[in-house]
Amino acid sequence: MKKMKYQVLKFFSCSFVLLTFTATIMAQTEKDKYLQLKNFPFLYMIEVPLQRSAVQPNSFVESYYRIMRDVENMKDCKTASCYSTALQYTDSEIAAIGNDLVHLVTTPGSVKERVRKLKQSGLYPLFMKEPDTAFVRKAWETDARGIAYVLNTYIAGKKPLYPKIDSISFDKADAGFRDKVAASVQKVMKNKSGAFFSMSLLFAVEALKLNDRDEAARYLPLTAGENAAAFNRVQKIKWKNYPYSAILVPGLGPEQPDVKLDPNGAKRCDSAAVRYLEGKAPFVIVSGGHVHPNKTPYCEAIEMKKYMVEVLHLPASAIIIEPHARHTTTNLRNANRLLFLFKMPFNKPVLIVTDASQNTYINGSMKDKVVKELGYTPFSSITKLSATETEYLPSDNSRQANSLDPLDP
């Protein structure tokens, strides 16, 4: 149990340990814990204070019993999509619950204190400057709509933003899938001791696991395993000797099922190795998850690190894996998160080494796309250095979770 709490701390690099979550965490697997914590950090961290609060506003109670009634009425439902509707919140419920959360956060008690600590953690940087009342409303709305996105995509079978790589794993009309979903619902409905949203939160996690979409929970904590040697080496680095904090290599997923590393991805690694050996940075961050082809067993970051260590003979302690990014935009964002996590200098630029095509994209149309999909840019400045290289200064906003990208929030 002590190890589990330590990993939560290390993953988010927060300054407090979630001691009050013992009962909830013990009933979950480590995968469940990380899927909740990464996708819905506000709900995860506010659950126990809400559960123990002496005040239970009408909106909490009404939404809880509405879900119970709707699920009870699902017995004759022929498809899984019925359950998706029953366990997510309506717009009016989201608004009413937001109002009552605002009231609770203005009242002295455990809820107000937890919101204060949550703001200090930096997990919602886009809302940091808001007063507590606006912060709690926006965080709640973000996570509630994230639950809806998961259920609409992985239970109801609606198309996600990137259907080629992120879609449901079943035929949404399949009776066998409906039965599996019904069993998952019955499992989460047994959770009587959580907060008003606990059943919906747990069902969203079950939906991801049912579809084998646990990508966001793999390889954690990122300070261990493949990254342990690099993490231990960070404190020994004399940063003034390097112009960059890290060299970032964005992954390139092959479309062929039996290919582990795309040849052009290997070329990106070759170019990055040259810059590393020139002393541009003490670390290389290889970034990319299980992306192409859909549900591939191969992780771009893992395969790039293998290549750089086994073929290019770079030291393993100099290669940091970022095994979750699914797009160029999140290659940059997730690399920034590693800088935070490893406590590497955030005022030093990062050097991106890639091919000419992706470099043109990074300095062109990606800038509009990243704002549209993330709500911010993961850099405070960015400069194209050559046809294949770009440098940028990381943005503090990169810690903001994206509840509409549950495979890499």
Alpha helices in 53-162 (DSSP H): 58-72, 81-86, 91-105, 110-121, 132-154
Alpha helices in 155-292 (DSSP H): 163-166, 175-189, 198-210, 228-233, 263-277
Q: 232-269: string of b/e by CB count within 10 Å (b at 16+)?
A: ebbeeeeeeebebbbbbbbbbbbeeeebbbbeebbebb
Is the CATH number of domain 225-399 3.90.1150.10? no
Listed in order, the ranges of the chain carrying CATH 3.40.50.620 are 225-399
Please answer whether residues 290 and 215 qualify as being in contact, where contact means their C-beta atoms are separated by less than 8 angstroms.
Answer: yes
E strand or H helix that includes residue 4: helix 2-12
Q: Which two tokens stand for residue 26?
A: 């013990």
What does pTM read for this prediction? 0.91
Q: What is the pLDDT along the chain (409 residues), one digit of tens a residue?
A: 333 232 333 333 332 223 233 334 335 799 999 999 999 999 999 999 998 888 899 999 999 999 999 999 988 888 999 999 999 999 999 999 999 999 999 989 889 999 999 998 888 999 999 999 999 999 999 999 999 999 999 999 999 999 999 999 999 899 999 999 999 999 999 877 789 999 999 999 999 999 999 999 999 999 999 999 999 999 999 999 999 999 999 999 998 999 999 999 999 999 999 999 999 999 999 999 999 999 999 999 999 999 999 999 999 999 999 999 999 999 999 999 999 999 999 999 999 999 999 999 999 999 999 999 999 999 999 999 999 999 999 999 999 999 999 999 9
